[in-house]
Each structure stands twice: as C-alpha cells, then as structure tokens.
Amino acid sequence: MKNSILIIIMLFTAFTTKVYACDCKGEKSVKEEFKLSKSVVSGRVISREEVVVTKETIEKSTKDSRNGRLIVKYTFLISEKYKGEFSSNTITIYTGIGERDCGVQFEIGENYIVYGIDGIYNDRIFTDKESSLWTINCLRTRKYEKKEIEQIKIESEK
C-alpha cells in the first residue's frame, strides 16, 4: 500500500509542469511603491493577447506553446507618465495569466494606474524600458483613483 502511494506521488510530480505561486507580503504605501518601481503611469487598456515568453523571445500563444511561460500582453495608452521614460504614449504591459502567478486582470477600455518593474524570465530581462513593463498584483497597480494620483504626483515632484 505504501509503495502504491509512493509510486502515485512520483508519477504525479514527474508529469506536472512548472507551477508559479503568488505570495504578496502586504501592500506598500504609495511612497514606497513609487520609489521601488521602474515606472508609474496612468492610462487606458486597449487590447489583450496571451503570449509565451521563452529564453529567447516572446511569441503568440498557440496550442503547441510549451517551451516557456504563458503570460498576458496588454496594449496600454498612457494618459500621464509619473516615472519612467517611454518613447511612445502606447506601451506594452506584461503580467501573469492569473491571480496564482500574480497576474493583474485588466479590463479593455478601463483606466488604470500601473506600477511597473522589469520583466525577467530565466535570468533575462524581456521588457524594454522605452516601450514595455511588467506588473503584478502585489504592486499597487489598480483601477484609476484620483486620491492615488494625488499621492503619486507628490512623490513624482520630489
């Protein structure tokens, strides 16, 4: 009986794929989050696409995409930049696919405040500081709130 259970456990772990778990340690203040973020912007989400990030590239997700991590790519129209240097007012925001891998579930057409960091996969930064960022639900990224913007403006003027 014990051997059967051990074999079942071994088979189960042998055939599982990578699992990502989200473990947030509590929300930081606007001041702390602003300081730690590479970029802070507000604007509107205009499109969503599932993609796979691999060691070399980011590619459109297909049924055969198995050699990487499935993430979501959002196109975002910036209305205001508070931190960061983007070459265009339209940028790409990458995030996890769901809450378990810390993904932010943006709604197309809605306005958000986004705190961004570098996106890293297999020790390679895949975001470009001039056109894209990575965000997670452990950051203060949220729907647009005037009170939050007022605090961000104070931090951006320091």
pLDDT per residue as tens digits for the range 9-19 = 444 444 444 45
User: Which pLDDT does position 7 carry in this prediction?
Assistant: 46
Q: Is residue 141 part of a domain?
A: yes
Q: Is residue 136 part of a domain?
A: yes
* Least confident stretch, 82-91, 103-112, 122-131: 122-131
Q: How many domains does the chain have?
A: 1
Asked if residue 135 has pLDDT above 70, the reply is yes
Strand, helix or coil at 94?
strand
Asked if residue 156 has pLDDT above 80, the reply is yes
d(CA 129, CA 58): 16
**Residues near 126 by Cβ (< 8 Å), separated by ≥ 6?**
53, 58, 94, 119, 120
Which has the closest alpha carbon to 129: 147, 117, 115, 138? Answer: 117
Q: Is residue 3 part of a domain?
A: no
Asked if residue 4 has pLDDT above 60, the reply is no
Average pLDDT, the chain: 83
Q: Is residue 132 part of a domain?
A: yes
Write out pLDDT tens, residues 52-96.
887 766 666 665 556 778 889 999 999 999 999 899 999 999 999
Alpha-carbon torsion (151, 153, 154, 158), positive or negative:
positive
Alpha-carbon torsion (125, 96, 94, 117), positive or negative:
negative
User: Which pLDDT does position 24 carry in this prediction?
Assistant: 85
8 A C-beta contact, residue 51 and residue 60: yes
DSSP character at residue 107: -
DSSP character at residue 20: -
User: Which pLDDT does position 60 carry in this prediction?
Assistant: 67
9, 30, 38 from 43: Cα distances, Å:
47, 18, 17
Segments forming the whole domain that contains residue 123: 23-156
Task: Pick the more confident residue, 10 or 100.
Answer: 100
* Least confident stretch, 28-37, 68-77, 105-114, 146-155: 68-77
Q: Is residue 14 part of a domain?
A: no
d(CA 64, CA 91): 27
CATH number of the domain within which 59 lies: 2.40.50.120
Token couple for 72: 């979501």
Average pLDDT of 108-134?
84
User: Which pLDDT does position 17 carry in this prediction?
Assistant: 46
Q: Is residue 2 part of a domain?
A: no
Which has the closest alpha carbon to 142: 21, 74, 42? Answer: 42
Strands 39-53 and 58-60: antiparallel
Q: Is residue 62 part of a domain?
A: yes
Strand, helix or coil at 156?
helix
pTM of the predicted model as reported, rounded to 2 decimal places: 0.79
Q: Is residue 18 part of a domain?
A: no
